[in-house]
Amino acid sequence: MHVPQFHVTDDGVRFHHAPSRFRQIFDVPEYAFSDIGRDDLVLDIGANAGAFCLRACRMSRHVTAVEPVIPAILRQNITLNDASIRVIEAGLGDGKPAVCTWDEESALVPTYPLSALVEMAGGCDFLKCDCEGAEWQIRPGDLAGIRRIEMELHIPPISGPPSPALLDYIDRHYDYTIERKPCHDVLGVMGILHATRR
């Protein structure tokens, strides 16, 4: 029996069949991103196998993906889809090397504050962030200039406590909702932040 070499989603995105000890995310129904513009600078932090960035690059010519644990699989999927996406092998953090873990896979990688990742990407209009609790290390001022945010927010035991300063900054500068969907009604996930700068 012939086993297909890749999985094709309903909207035509292709992903390699790669045996692994970790989840490879192929769909991202929790994120709203139909408002990405052709010239928007899109930054996908926690890109995993590419589910978000591969769809975002259909809308924008400027997509950067940050992935600390499985960048090789991400790159394979970018090539498989003939996509133009820049990959940064790192994590969001305080600038010191850190061990990032996804399911049963771990990697010691450099980390960068959001401001440095934005600079490496050439700017950021649209931020998608799903980084297993590292979002609370974002310095509020690093969001300056970012028009849209789609971010998974974590709570203990996945992360430390939420950052009141970050939440206060978002409250003052963005119109937003924090949405809990059934697929995220799990221990350690607060919900998905959908935010648009006022």
Model pLDDT for residues 101-119, shown as the tens digit of each residue:
988 889 999 999 999 999 9
Q: Give the model's confidence band at 184: pLDDT under 50 very low, under 70 low, under 90 confident, else very high.
A: low
- Average pLDDT score, the chain: 93
CATH architecture of 14-197: 3-Layer(aba) Sandwich (3.40)
Tell me the domain boundaries of the chain.
Answer: 14-197
Which candidate, 17, 22, 19, places its Cα nearest to that of 106? Answer: 22
Residues 31 and 52: beta-carbon distance below 8 Å: yes
Tell me the average pLDDT across 6-13. 94
Q: Name the pTM for this structure.
A: 0.94
Model pLDDT for residues 147-178, shown as the tens digit of each residue:
999 999 998 888 888 999 999 999 999 999 99
**β-strands 91-92, 111-112 pairing:** parallel
Which candidate, 123, 115, 122, 179, places its Cα nearest to that of 147? Answer: 123
Integer Cα distance of 6 and 150 in angstroms: 28
Integer Cα distance of 52 and 55 in angstroms: 5
pLDDT of residue 186: 63
Residues 109 and 98: beta-carbon distance below 8 Å: yes
